[in-house]
Chain A
Amino acid sequence: MLPAVPLAALFLAAFVLPLIALVAISLFRTSQFEELSLAQYVRFFSDPFSIKVLTDTIWLGAEVALVTLIIAYPIALVYVASGQLMRTLITFLIMLPLLTSTVVRTFAWIVLLGRDGIINTAMLSLGLWQAPARLLYTWEGMVLALIQIQLPLMALPVINSLLRLDGNLTRAAEGLGASRARIFVTVILPLTLPGAIAGWLLVFAAAATAFITQTLVGGGRIILMASHIYQQAVGVQDWPFSAALSLIFTLAVTGIVFATGALSRRYVRGVDAA
């Protein structure tokens, strides 16, 4: 236990204490820290704009996580069915974006989605589009970029849970005459769902809080929680409101993560019992 003491002390001073301060400051009415009240929370929940920012952010995380899940499963299925060389190649491709800096990955999407970017150039030269489309600074562009940026967080847990799946089960289903699609739906999917949920939660939390990608690819007109907090703190210097925003955001994200995690564990027990 003794070796853990220095880190515990550091965490008390630089992690626990700040969180307590964050809660305390959110309970003040003004930036001069006079008068305790719940005014900041009343302000948030009576402001349609702030509420829309929060629901948009949650929706963004959920949407990105769902699409990455749909892309990750086929990759994982191919990975498991492949030989060593193909597996190494897929691992490398998955690790590549994970290890490149977020700003670099986001920058890549600015290049791809821009007016003279690849997508516009390709579509124009194929004659599919008459004029360059606006892709950068749109919701769809931002979702696409986040899907690519967060895909590794989904692919790794899904691959891991597929690797742990007992191959006899799929072989038994095959021997009994089930089609491959039916094996996937009735055997593979239910048994690997915990890995999928783990990946979904990782991507959800990462996409909802991805400040850089949200501001650079989404642009200034799409306001999400991270940039809302940043604006209120650094722009307006409204410390109590930005503290309240941070807490509401943190509770919303961690609440969803823990609730889904608990549901998933109950589901696993149900599967084991059956």
Chain B
Amino acid sequence: MQRSLIDRVYSGIIGAITGFGLLLLLAPTLVVLIISFTGGVTLKFPPPSWSLRWYVDLLQSQEIVEPALTSLKVATAATILSAVLGGAAALGLARSRLKIARVLDALFMSPMVLPAMAFGLSLLLVFNLLGIRLSAATLVLGHTIICVPFVIRMVGASVQQLDPVLITCSLSLGAGRWYTFRRVTLPLIRRGIVASCFVAFLTSFDNVPVSLFLADARTEVLPIKLWAILEGSLDVRVAAVSGVIVLLTLAGLVCAEIFGGFSRQIGSR
């Protein structure tokens, strides 16, 4: 009798916290989507009326559209660079038994533990000392470094699961190294590459601490622009930007799921 009471209290607490937790996870995203369709001029919730005015306003706001395009370009460049360099490194390290491979693996993962703020500042100091002017290129360089750990981990995990016998077979059947890489290795680690590209892109697109130090006046990126807007006033256009970002991310997630089995990659991490 007493035990079943304790069990019921326990289940009740577990259920209540879970419900609260899941609501907490969902609510903010939902609220942003809802408020982006407000007809009013404030962030009052629930919205007094409905309209698409802030989306229309957004399209006409050059000062937001331009940073958004810059962010897309920077994120694309950083994703490609980190995927190519990081993917190659992950392949090289996974097959190696040398001690230096462990050291390099730790080095490539370390941007993850270093506060991004400290890294951004340190790279800026080096550019200052060497007299290198800030540009879109310096920004891409900084973003590439912080994207690399995701590529190393996710592509590395795919390579670990790859059966080396398949490579040996291909080579002994007379296929060249490049042909083997293209027709055997690459298709087998495709999932890891797609998933890591997705995460790398989001990481770069979302980054503020590194961009704060490394972007020049002409290369304004979206998150910094939004941050600056929100520090000054509570602009409803930010809700519309948020709505666009949420919908595009969901679309991207669906694509990554179809081409790369994204959720399985996350689960196995």
Q: Is B168 an interface residue (CB 8 A)?
A: no
Q: Is the interface of A mostly helix, strand, loop or mixed?
A: helix
Complex Cα gap A22–B26 (Å):
40
Once A and B bind, how many residue pairs between them come within 8 Å at the CB atom?
257
Q: Which residues of the other chain, A, contact B113 by a CB distance below 8 angstroms?
A: 205, 253-254, 257
Q: Mark B213-254, 1 if CB is under 8 A from A, else 0.
A: 100000000010011001100100011011001100110010
In the complex, the answer to whether A148 meets B242 with C-beta atoms within 8 Å is no
Q: Is A190 an interface residue (CB 8 A)?
A: no
In the complex, the answer to whether A216 meets B242 with C-beta atoms within 8 Å is no
Q: Mark A217-246, 1 if CB is under 8 A from B, else 0.
A: 000000001100110011000010011001
Question: Which residues of chain B in 171-230 are interfacial with respect to chain A, using CB atoms and an 8 Å cutoff?
Answer: 202, 205-206, 208-209, 212-213, 223, 226-227, 230
In the complex, the answer to whether B206 meets A101 with C-beta atoms within 8 Å is yes
Q: What is the size category of the interface that chain B forms with chain A?
A: 35 or more
Complex Cα gap A1–B231 (Å):
47
Chain B CB within 10 A, most for which of A10, A156, A216? A10
A37-45, A46-54, A176-184, A266-274: which one contacts chain B? A176-184
In the complex, the answer to whether B108 meets A18 with C-beta atoms within 8 Å is no
In the complex, the answer to whether B144 meets A10 with C-beta atoms within 8 Å is yes
Contacts A4-B93, A93-B22; is A102 near B14 (CB within 8 Å)? Answer: no
Q: Which residues of the other chain, A, contact B20 by a CB distance below 8 angstroms?
A: 71
Question: Which residues of chain B in 149-186 are interfacial with respect to chain A, using CB atoms and an 8 Å cutoff?
Answer: none
Q: Is the interface of B mostly helix, strand, loop or mixed?
A: helix
Q: Give the total of A residues in contact with B, Cβ under 8 Å.
A: 87
In the complex, the answer to whether A156 meets B266 with C-beta atoms within 8 Å is yes
Contact of A253 among B14, B115, B202 (CB under 8 A): B115
In the complex, the answer to whether B117 meets A111 with C-beta atoms within 8 Å is no
Q: Is A140 an interface residue (CB 8 A)?
A: no
Complex Cα gap A70–B238 (Å):
32
Q: Closest 10 A-B residue pairs measured CB to CB? A: A108-B28, A3-B92, A18-B122, A246-B118, A4-B92, A3-B88, A22-B122, A4-B89, A74-B17, A7-B89
Complex Cα gap A156–B267 (Å):
8
Contact of A211 among B7, B117, B144 (CB under 8 A): B117
